């Protein structure tokens, strides 16, 4: 666990270094005088030794398992196809796919595209109660503005791209407390539920360092890794308090942007979100952790 204390500063160095080459020409052309680069603050969440954490409880799923999903666009299924409504939800979201595959009762998917930690606390806790058995959630990315950043970077907007990622890295300092508030509130509202937090899959495949997109890909992937590590640390702090919560990472290795068969949308309003296949991979990881319903 100690390694996480130093990971965010390392990620900051990787991101700034990767973007330096990408934005140098456009940065110079955009201003008559040099602009000083933003300072990148370092998030230093308190690590919790893994050996002190209680195990995540194992309970068999049944057709009566009451399941509630919370979160942002990754939980709403944006990019999965057939999106509709104000929250841009898809029936191919990982909560929908998981509930069908695992055979559990999805009471509601309260997730909404664009949701931040504050939005979740204000608008998404209503379906939770003492009868809730399982909660999944995906949250944190919009607190950092990752969707807009990815869009700017992919569009070749070097200055907004570099500024956005620098700002996101600085905001990582605020995220641990926000996540603590969310996880505490969910556990309080659903005191008998197991809570599973899904991470964010890295968007780009590893590419040739000589390629023109390498800096952007490396920077966005590094920022995503940093976000996931902050989420993991917040989860471990909750586990240390006895909260039955755990993290599930999702690996799109070989299927990111730049691969022959990406599991990530690359164009349109759903860009940088998983495809239906990508969401099925989220479901697969949940089944691997939780199993399927036993009659």
**Local confidence band at 156 (pLDDT 50, 70, 90 cut-offs):** low
Any catalytic annotation for residue 138?
A: no
Helix (H) or strand (E) holding 107: strand 105-109
**Local confidence band at 241 (pLDDT 50, 70, 90 cut-offs):** very high
Give the Cα separation of 231 and 89 in Å (integer).
24
Domain of residue 187: give its range. 3-30+42-290
- pLDDT averaged over every residue in the chain: 83
**Does the pLDDT of residue 227 top 70, yes or no?**
yes
Share of the chain above pLDDT 90, in %: 58
Does a structural domain hold residue 98?
yes
Does a structural domain hold residue 36?
no
**Does the pLDDT of residue 12 top 70, yes or no?**
no
Does a structural domain hold residue 255?
yes
Does a structural domain hold residue 278?
yes
CATH number, domain containing residue 219: 3.40.50.1110
**Does the pLDDT of residue 9 top 70, yes or no?**
no
**Local confidence band at 2 (pLDDT 50, 70, 90 cut-offs):** very low
The conformation of residue 250, written as its DSSP 8-state character, comes to -
Task: Identify the weakest region by mean pLDDT among 28-42, 206-220, 275-289.
Answer: 28-42
Q: What is the pLDDT of residue 51?
A: 64
pLDDT in tens, 105-126: 999 999 999 999 999 999 999 9
Does a structural domain hold residue 275?
yes
Does a structural domain hold residue 37?
no
Any catalytic annotation for residue 273?
A: yes
Give the E-state strand segments of 183-244 in sequence order. Answer: 194-198
In the chain, how many domains are there?
1
Helices of type H across 116-213: 117-123, 146-154, 158-171, 175-189
**Does the pLDDT of residue 7 top 60, yes or no?**
no
Q: What is the pLDDT of residue 144?
A: 83
The conformation of residue 68, written as its DSSP 8-state character, comes to E
Most confident of 15-29, 32-46, 135-149, 212-226: 135-149
Does a structural domain hold residue 35?
no
Higher pLDDT, 160 or 179: 179
Q: Where on the phi/psi map is residue 45: left (φ > 0), alpha (ψ -120 to 50), or beta?
A: beta
Q: Which of 42, 73, 90, 99 is catalytic?
A: 73
pLDDT in tens, 82-95: 999 999 999 999 99
Give the Cα separation of 91 and 73 in Å (integer).
13
Q: What is the pLDDT of residue 161?
A: 75
Q: What is the pLDDT of residue 77?
A: 98
Does a structural domain hold residue 295?
no
pLDDT in tens, 191-215: 999 999 999 999 888 766 666 667 7
Q: Which of 90, 158, 273, 283 is catalytic?
A: 273
């Amino acid at each position: 666990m100690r390694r996480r204390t130093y990971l965010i500063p390392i990620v900051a160095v990787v991101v700034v270094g990767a973007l330096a080459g990408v934005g140098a020409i456009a940065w110079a052309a955009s201003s008559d005088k040099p602009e000083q680069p933003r300072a990148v603050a370092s998030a230093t969440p308190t690590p919790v030794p893994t050996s002190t954490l209680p195990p995540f409880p194992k309970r068999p799923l049944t057709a009566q398992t009451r399941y509630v999903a919370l979160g942002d666009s990754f939980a709403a299924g944006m990019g999965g196809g057939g999106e509709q409504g104000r929250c841009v939800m898809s029936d191919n979201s990982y909560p929908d796919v998981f509930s069908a595959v695992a055979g559990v009762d999805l009471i509601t998917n309260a997730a909404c595209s664009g949701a931040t930690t504050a939005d979740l606390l204000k608008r998404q806790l209503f379906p939770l109660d003492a009868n809730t058995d399982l909660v999944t959630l995906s949250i944190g990315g919009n607190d950092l503005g990752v969707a807009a950043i990815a869009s700017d970077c992919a569009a070749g907007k070097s200055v907004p791209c570099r500024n956005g990622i620098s700002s996101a890295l600085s905001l990582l300092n605020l995220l641990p407390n926000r996540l603590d508030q969310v996880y505490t509130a969910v556990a309080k509202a659903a005191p008998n539920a197991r809570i599973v937090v899904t991470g964010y899959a890295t968007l780009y495949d590893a590419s040739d360092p000589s390629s023109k997109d390498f800096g952007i890909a490396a920077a966005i992937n590094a920022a995503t890794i940093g976000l996931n590590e902050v989420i993991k640390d917040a989860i471990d702090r909750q586990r240390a308090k006895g909260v039955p919560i755990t993290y599930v990472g999702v690996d799109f290795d070989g299927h990111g942007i730049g691969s022959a068969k990406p599991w990530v949308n690359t164009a349109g309003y759903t860009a940088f979100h998983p495809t239906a296949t990508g969401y099925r991979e989220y479901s697969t990881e949940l089944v691997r952790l939780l199993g399927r319903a036993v009659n």
